A and B are shown apart, each in its own frame.
Chain A
Amino acid sequence: MKFDVEKIRQDFPLLKKFLKGRPYIYFDNACMSLRPQAVLNAEKEYYEQESSCAGRSVHKLSEEVNRRIEQVRKLAARFINAKSEKEIIFTKNTTEGLNIVARGWPFNEGDKVFITDKEHNSNLVPWLVLKKEKHIILKVIPSKSNNVFDLETFKELIEQERPRFVSLGMTSNLDGVTIPTEEIIKISHQYGALTMLDAAQAAPHQKIDVLDLDVDFLAFSGHKMLGPTATGILYGKKELLDKLDPLLTGGGNLETSFYDSYKFLGAPQKFEAGLQNYAGIYGLGEAIIYLEELGFDNIKKQELELNKFITEAISNFPQVKIIGPKDPSSRGGIISFHIDDFDSREVALMFDQLSNIAIRSGQHCVHSWFNHHHLSGSARASFYFYNTLEEAKIFVETLEKILKLK
């Protein structure tokens, strides 16, 4: 597929929007991406044409919904190269996926879990809760001074500590740095540890091959990769999913129940209790098709071009400090920065007020890292393939204006 950003932008209704005579510039893609018309149409189609329950009733509408949902499951399996669609669980988001594993795995007192010092709260707090409830031991692997994963320290620690579980963010939402996933998983397995990846920031921007990686569990969200809100995927190896207890129980995940007992269905249904977000899943399917047609090489190339341009421009302003490595190619589509004497919220509000540029400010759900580094927060611009160099130029011009305020 030929990559034509102007043509692609026509697929996104929000990019055609003008506010007070200016176009809307959306640089908050690490929080949530925009949706193409195809995704919106798919959701609408469910409500208008096929609105009914899947897997419960026998009428034609229900059968059709069932077929479409299972079709999306197959698409999702293909998207990450899972062995079988039975390894694909529909969730609300990455947070739910990570919680299903953390809460459902049979941990014992004293079991060790490794995470990094840059984890999103979704991959920190579930473990802190387990530390409190099941008395597991949580070990935080420190990053290098430039926020890059320290493989040497990891090797040393895993040899000493022998954890049962290694749960890591594949790409950090704080600074966009991707960890050396393949090596980490290989080492973890050598020492008998299971692995889980929080791929919320990775799945929208790079090809993930779970078979190649040999990862045990992997979770990502739909809303960061063109899909509707409250959609996500949890991947798990079939034999491991069988050992996992579901987070929720109720309608849809039981084979049968008696007054004194119950029997769960097998994976993936075991983890999908209650009526599912069918419209969202329809939309997620379209999002996956859209991304596959576009190709991750094109996506990465466009993001990197913008990040390079902005990083280069920012390097002229000594009061602007980039979080993470200086090299934009190590940060994918994210540039997180703080400015001397500015509150990050002030910066984000000024971008919004001056040029309709949406960026994120604050601690980006990585409070632990900011608290440890005694920083109140950062401003974060995050790009996707539909952002343009023209938008990046407006961003830099606006930044210059903001810097002149002090």
Chain B
Amino acid sequence: MLCVAALIVFALLGIFSVAYRKLAKEALDCVLRRVSFRPCESRFDLKVKSQITASLMKRSEKAGQFFWKYFEVFSWIFVVLFIVSTFYTGRAVYNLIRYKTCDPQHPQNCFITSGPGASPSPTECPISQLQNL
């Protein structure tokens, strides 16, 4: 399942680097096989699974065994989280462009436009404040 998220990530990174295009192609092959109910022949999933399991096992064998057993569940959780976060990020970017804040209902919640280092809104522009003086 991990290959779905990997496809999107590596496809985007692949715009800038050839190295990621190969990984994107591998992930695409895996996705196509998944949707046609065939086993994924790419080693992508296996590589990720074994790398994470091995590094967990070096710290705790039990943790590694748990991850190995529930790898597919972890993959699903990761993909769902990835899709949800992509949706919210997309919406925030749209709002930022359209309304100059990522949260038009509660602008104070948008850390980009209301945080300590945030760029001031047009009404708070220091130049206009100077002009008012």
Interface, chain A (partner B; CB < 8 A): 343, 345-346, 349-350, 352-354, 401, 404-406
Contact = CB atoms under 8 A, between A and B. Distances in A.
Contact of A353 (B43, B51, B65, B69): B51
Contacts of A405: 53, 64-65, 68-69
Contacts of B68: 405-406
B54 A350 contact: yes
B47 interface: yes
A346 B50 CA distance: 7
Nearest to B43: A345
A343 B46 contact: yes
Give the 7 A-B CB pairs with smallest separation, nearest first.
A353-B54, A349-B50, A405-B68, A353-B50, A354-B54, A350-B50, A345-B46
Interface residues of B, number: 16
Interface centre among A346, A353, A401 (most CB of B within 10 A): A353
B57 interface: yes
A349 B47 contact: yes
B21 interface: no
10 contacts: A343-B46, A345-B46, A349-B43, A349-B49, A353-B54, A354-B57, A404-B61, A405-B64, A406-B68, A406-B69
A345 B42 CA distance: 11
A353 B47 CA distance: 9
Residue from B47, B57, B58, B65 with most neighbouring chain A CB atoms (10 Å): B57
B2 to A, nearest CB: 15
Interface of B: 43, 46-47, 49-51, 53-55, 57-58, 61, 64-65, 68-69
A350 B65 CA distance: 12
B41 to A, nearest CB: 10
A350 B61 contact: no
A353 B53 contact: yes
Contacts of B55: 353
Contacts of B69: 405-406
A350 B67 CA distance: 13
A16 to B, nearest CB: 23
A362 to B, nearest CB: 10
A144 B111 CA distance: 73
A354 B57 CA distance: 8
Nearest to A347: B50
A353 B58 CA distance: 10
Nearest to B52: A353
A404 B53 CA distance: 12
Contacts of B49: 346, 349
A401 B61 contact: yes
